[in-house]
């Protein structure tokens, strides 16, 4: 694949390279050493955050307004106005979308571009907002990972396509897109200390291609370095990852930023490795850079290189003409909130529907809703991705608004088993809500016994007296208590999941009442794969709701009663046994990532999944026919006819997988290399064309350090999931 050039980077955002380069050079020439150091430093008002969050008890509002860097006010250089994500803009009362794993289940790139448009607008609507750090594309290696909800799924191609769509659409609003967490960040609880190992092919073919796509094709403005170590070095201090791979191999022209507080440990090493900006506050950089240069600990040229990268990238976006006017009226406006509902509807995945339980008849008079989650607005993690929307719609509220007072809604909590058992046979349908919330999975914000207290000490040294008092209290508390996630259900502090199934109380409820009423549906609310083997046979229907965003309850009602035909597909594989998954540990200091995971591991071990990657049902039926493949100059063009043979309009996802028989190296049995979502009216037929680019078929050659394309007789499979029993193998690839 050719390297991206700086010209391509500026063309991507519509800026004039020569003009921006000259302006940046002129500003750079006038900057003092301290101004250069401050340009590379976050300037977060920690006192305001602590005061509002802890003293005023207003909850988690760490990103209530853009988190700034110093910039250079004297010379008219704006700082970075940082906003987090990825459910939307974590500022004010922004629009809250379903989590990324749900949006990945939509298998709709164009829909993700619409999400990015809303996010870009809402970032710009806040004064100073110009940077979005919510393009989260760490791979779902194992469903126990606490932040699985923040990525799109288990497949690198699928994740990369969604990351690319979000990057390009956000940046179209002159918002710098930050892709994170670069890289190998796939374990949560031990993220500050775990040293990850992987061979070169695993690194480049499995864990980096989606980052590369966002850089090379998306022109991403920034990469955020992860907390963990890779091959003995902290990512934010890894020259191999920051410079040799991102800059020299991929041609990355933007700037690197550190993850907050604990990303950088050695400032000289970080700067020499290519880490440009320390976030979110002065700890290692700022005046320390001046001192290091003056002592000769770091060359001024290294600092100047970082300064030029930050200047050129920031100016390219801030000097680029806007295509529309941005103001606070855009935040959570009707147009944006309507899209949050549409995304939820497109994402929900129906994975089981025995006897066509769904859609429910609108003539129902009594509905039993079982589970604590039926009445809660469960948006997902309460960490850095948390959003405070103007309103949220719980499942119960959505059903009440949709059905009106003519339908009786009865609720039982998780613990009211006998009451639920008695009512289940008396109602028209039973809706069970089970899964997870922020106490079960999410960002792990509580240090464990291996926390590096010296980092808190450094923050303390550079803080004002109010912050000093707060940190001193935290240090004392950490010293007295080893705070780890609780194994009591619903009482945890997020982080990696302890259980891969539903809570025990929920499983007991499902097994007790699941077959009493033939119209019973289990609604799974979660941000990752839920093991269903324990109770799957006890229920006729299962629907993934996900953490469905602010309009989730309204979307669910429309799905359950057939106003919307479900079209979501699982962005991960669901095995029968946990032993079919790769090894996972969040307690070890050393951990190795293998080449295989997800459906590639199941294929390697000849294990049939319970529900395959890409699986999802509809209220109608589709047949694929007339499959063809033609060899073009730089791609394989696959065509297929898809016919809606049912009586409802619906959407199907055509999926193309490629096998590599006769390869010079060991490769997976098949890999996803194309997908397209298509809307088809009842009884109609649509022709779908997908291109599999040759560059997507390459493998990484460890000897040359480059990707290699093999002239093989590639096997092309077409279907609607990764199920080997239903995929159609095309017999030949014709010349065009």
Residue-wise pLDDT tens digits, 353-362: 999 999 999 9
With 70 as the cut, is the pLDDT of residue 56 above it?
Answer: no
Residues 6+ away with beta carbon under 8 Å from 498: 440, 485, 487, 492
With 90 as the cut, is the pLDDT of residue 10 above it?
Answer: no
Residues 6+ away with beta carbon under 8 Å from 32: none
Weakest-pLDDT range from 113-127, 253-267, 457-471: 457-471
Bridge partners, residue 411, by sequence: 369
Given this model, what pLDDT does residue 482 score?
Answer: 33
Given this model, what pLDDT does residue 566 score?
Answer: 98
Q: Give the domain 6-330 fold.
A: TIM Barrel (3.20.20)
Distance in angstroms (rounded) separating the CA atoms of residues 107 and 179 = 20
Nearest to 99 by CA among 83, 116, 87: 87
Residues 6+ away with beta carbon under 8 Å from 689: 637, 638, 639
With 70 as the cut, is the pLDDT of residue 699 above it?
Answer: yes
Residues 6+ away with beta carbon under 8 Å from 391: 550
CB contact at 8 A, 538 and 430: no
CB contact at 8 A, 396 and 103: no
Q: Average pLDDT in the 462-474 region?
A: 45
Could you list the beta-strand ranges (E) of 37-142. Answer: 67-68, 81-84, 131-136
Q: Average pLDDT in the 436-462 region?
A: 65
C-beta atoms surrounding 382 within 10 Å: 17
* 481 half-sphere exposure, CB direction, 13 A CA radius: 7
- The two tokens of residue 71 are 């910039």
With 90 as the cut, is the pLDDT of residue 14 above it?
Answer: no
CA 272, distance to chain mean position in Å, is: 30
Q: How do the domains of the chain map onto residue ranges?
A: 6-330, 344-441+495-575, 447-483, 620-729
C-beta atoms surrounding 561 within 10 Å: 17
- The two tokens of residue 238 are 């890894």
Nearest to 237 by CA among 218, 219, 256, 250: 256
With 50 as the cut, is the pLDDT of residue 467 above it?
Answer: no
Given this model, what pLDDT does residue 489 score?
Answer: 64
In order of 365, 366, 399, 453, the CA distances from 405 in angstroms are 10, 11, 10, 57
pLDDT tens digits, one per residue of 375-408: 998 999 998 999 999 999 999 999 999 999 999 9
DSSP character at residue 726: T
Nearest to 225 by CA among 189, 190, 192, 268: 192
DSSP character at residue 503: -
Given this model, what pLDDT does residue 323 score?
Answer: 85
Given this model, what pLDDT does residue 16 score?
Answer: 86
- The two tokens of residue 176 are 């710098």
DSSP character at residue 138: -
H-helix or E-strand spanning residue 104: helix 100-105
With 60 as the cut, is the pLDDT of residue 562 above it?
Answer: yes
Given this model, what pLDDT does residue 684 score?
Answer: 98
pLDDT category at 348 given cuts 50, 70, 90 is very high
Residues 6+ away with beta carbon under 8 Å from 470: 50, 54
Distance in angstroms (rounded) separating the CA atoms of residues 288 and 279 = 14
With 80 as the cut, is the pLDDT of residue 551 above it?
Answer: yes
In order of 58, 63, 280, 551, 577, the CA distances from 49 in angstroms are 10, 8, 12, 28, 44
More confident residue, 482 or 217: 217
Please report, for the chain, how many H helices and E strands are present, in that order. Answer: 21, 25
- The two tokens of residue 412 are 């039982």
- The two tokens of residue 226 are 């992860």
- CATH code: domain 620-729 is 2.60.40.10
Residues 6+ away with beta carbon under 8 Å from 116: 165, 166, 167, 168, 169, 170, 172
CB contact at 8 A, 196 and 591: yes
* pLDDT above 70 coverage of the chain, percent: 90
Q: Average pLDDT in the 276-281 region?
A: 94
Distance in angstroms (rounded) separating the CA atoms of residues 637 and 624 = 16
Nearest to 146 by CA among 492, 433, 489, 392: 492
- The two tokens of residue 658 are 């490629």
pLDDT category at 453 given cuts 50, 70, 90 is very low
Distance in angstroms (rounded) separating the CA atoms of residues 121 and 331 = 8
Distance in angstroms (rounded) separating the CA atoms of residues 655 and 728 = 11
Which residue's entry shows tokens 């003056």?
294
Given this model, what pLDDT does residue 208 score?
Answer: 98
Assign 69 to helix, strand or coil. strand
Given this model, what pLDDT does residue 48 score?
Answer: 61
First CA to last CA across the chain, in angstroms?
23
C-beta atoms surrounding 296 within 10 Å: 8
With 70 as the cut, is the pLDDT of residue 149 above it?
Answer: yes
The pair phi, psi for residue 170, each rounded to 5°, is -65, -45
Q: Average pLDDT in the 260-279 region?
A: 95
With 80 as the cut, is the pLDDT of residue 451 above it?
Answer: no
The pair phi, psi for residue 487, each rounded to 5°, is -95, 10
CB contact at 8 A, 83 and 131: yes
Bridge partners, residue 674, by sequence: 656
Distance in angstroms (rounded) separating the CA atoms of residues 688 and 248 = 38
For the chain, the average pLDDT equals 92
* pLDDT above 90 coverage of the chain, percent: 85
CB contact at 8 A, 284 and 41: no
Weakest-pLDDT range from 13-22, 222-231, 232-241, 299-308: 13-22
Distance in angstroms (rounded) separating the CA atoms of residues 670 and 655 = 12
pLDDT category at 363 given cuts 50, 70, 90 is very high
Maximum pairwise Cα distance, the chain: 80
Assign 7 to helix, strand or coil. helix
pLDDT tens digits, one per residue of 79-127: 999 999 999 999 999 999 999 999 999 999 999 999 999 999 999 999 9
Q: Average pLDDT in the 412-433 region?
A: 97
CB contact at 8 A, 138 and 586: no
Give the global pTM.
0.94
DSSP character at residue 29: H
CB contact at 8 A, 202 and 593: yes
pLDDT tens digits, one per residue of 480-502: 333 344 555 666 678 999 999 99
pLDDT category at 410 given cuts 50, 70, 90 is very high
CATH class of the 344-441+495-575 domain in this structure: alpha beta
- The two tokens of residue 365 are 């008079």
Given this model, what pLDDT does residue 45 score?
Answer: 73
- The two tokens of residue 540 are 């006729």
pLDDT category at 610 given cuts 50, 70, 90 is very high
The pair phi, psi for residue 730, each rounded to 5°, is -75, 130
DSSP 361-398: PTT--EEEEESGGGSS------STT----S----HHHH
């Amino acid at each position: 694949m050719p390297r991206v050039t700086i010209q391509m980077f500026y063309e991507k955002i519509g800026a004039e390279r020569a003009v921006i380069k000259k302006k940046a050079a002129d500003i750079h020439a006038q900057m003092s050493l301290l101004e250069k150091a401050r340009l590379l430093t976050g300037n977060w008002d920690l006192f305001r955050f602590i005061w509002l969050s802890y003293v005023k008890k207003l909850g988690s509002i760490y990103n209530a307004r853009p988190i700034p860097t110093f910039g250079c006010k004297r010379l008219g250089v704006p700082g970075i106005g940082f906003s987090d994500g990825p459910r939307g803009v974590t500022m004010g009362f922004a629009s809250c979308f379903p989590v990324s794993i749900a949006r990945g289940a939509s298998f709709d790139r164009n829909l993700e571009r619409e999400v990015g448009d809303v996010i870009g607008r809402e970032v710009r609507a806040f004064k100073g907002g110009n940077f979005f750090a919510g393009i989260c594309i760490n791979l779902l290696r194992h469903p126990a990972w606490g932040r699985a909800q923040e990525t799109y799924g288990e497949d690198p191609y699928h994740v990369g396509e969604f990351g690319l769509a979000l990057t390009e659409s956000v940046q179209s609003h002159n918002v710098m897109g930050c892709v994170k967490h670069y890289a190998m960040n796939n374990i949560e609880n031990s993220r500050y200390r775990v040293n990850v190992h992987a061979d070169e092919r695993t690194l480049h073919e499995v864990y980096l291609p989606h980052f590369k796509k966002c850089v090379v094709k998306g022109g991403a403005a920034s990469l955020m370095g992860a907390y963990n170590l890779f091959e003995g070095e902290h990512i934010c201090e890894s020259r191999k990852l920051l410079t040799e791979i991102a800059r020299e191999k991929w041609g990355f022209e933007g700037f690197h930023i550190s993850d907050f507080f604990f990303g950088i440990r050695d400032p000289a090493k970080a700067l020499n490795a290519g880490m440009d900006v320390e976030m979110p506050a002065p700890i290692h950089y700022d005046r320390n850079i001046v001192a290091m240069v003056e002592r000769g600990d770091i060359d001024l040229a290294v600092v100047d290189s970082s300064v030029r990268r930050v200047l050129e990238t920031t100016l390219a976006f801030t000097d680029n003409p806007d295509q529309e006017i941005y103001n606070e009226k855009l935040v959570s406006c009707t147009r944006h909130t309507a899209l949050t509902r549409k995304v939820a509807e497109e994402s929900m995945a129906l994975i089981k529907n025995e006897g066509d339980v769904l859609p429910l008849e609108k003539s129902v008079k009594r509905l039993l809703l079982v589970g604590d989650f039926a009445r809660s607005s469960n948006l997902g993690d309460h960490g850095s991705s948390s959003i405070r929307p103007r309103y949220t719609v719980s499942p119960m509220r959505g059903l009440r608004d949709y059905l009106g007072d003519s339908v009786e809604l009865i609720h039982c909590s998780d613990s009211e088993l006998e009451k639920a058992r008695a009512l289940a046979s008396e109602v028209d349908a039973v809706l069970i809500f089970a899964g997870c919330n922020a106490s079960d999975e999410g960002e792990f914000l509580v240090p464990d016994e291996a926390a590096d207290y010296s980092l808190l000490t450094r923050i303390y040294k550079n803080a004002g007296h109010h912050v000093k008092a707060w940190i001193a209290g935290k240090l004392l508390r950490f010293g007295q208590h080893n705070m780890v996630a609780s194994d009591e259900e619903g009482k945890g502090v997020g982080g990696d999941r302890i259980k891969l199934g539903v809570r025990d109380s929920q499983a007991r409820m499902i097994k007790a009442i699941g077959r009493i009423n033939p119209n019973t549906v289990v609604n799974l609310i979660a941000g990752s794969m839920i093991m269903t083997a324990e109770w799957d046979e006890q229920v006729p229907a299962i629907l993934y709701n996900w953490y469905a965003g602010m309009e989730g309850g309204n979307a669910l009602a429309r799905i359950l009663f057939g106003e919307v035909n479900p079209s979501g597909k699982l962005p991960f594989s669901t095995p029968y046994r946990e032993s079919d998954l790769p090894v996972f540990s969040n307690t070890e200091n050393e951990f190795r990532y293998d080449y295989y995971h997800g459906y590639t591991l199941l294929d390697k071990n000849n294990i049939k999944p319970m529900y395959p990657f890409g699986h999802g049902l509809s209220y109608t039926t589709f047949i694929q026919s007339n499959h063809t493949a033609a060899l073009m100059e730089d791609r394989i063009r696959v065509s297929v006819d898809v016919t809606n043979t049912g009586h409802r309009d619906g959407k199907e996802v055509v999926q193309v997988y490629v096998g590599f028989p006769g390869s010079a190296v060991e490769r997976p049995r098949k890999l996803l290399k194309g997908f397209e979502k298509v809307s088809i009216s009842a009884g109609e037929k649509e022709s779908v064309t997908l291109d599999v680019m040759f560059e997507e078929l390459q493998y990484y050659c460890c000897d040359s350090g480059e990707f290699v394309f093999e002239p093989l007789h590639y096997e092309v499979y077409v279907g609607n999931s990764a199920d080997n029993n239903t995929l159609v193998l095309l017999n030949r690839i014709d010349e065009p």
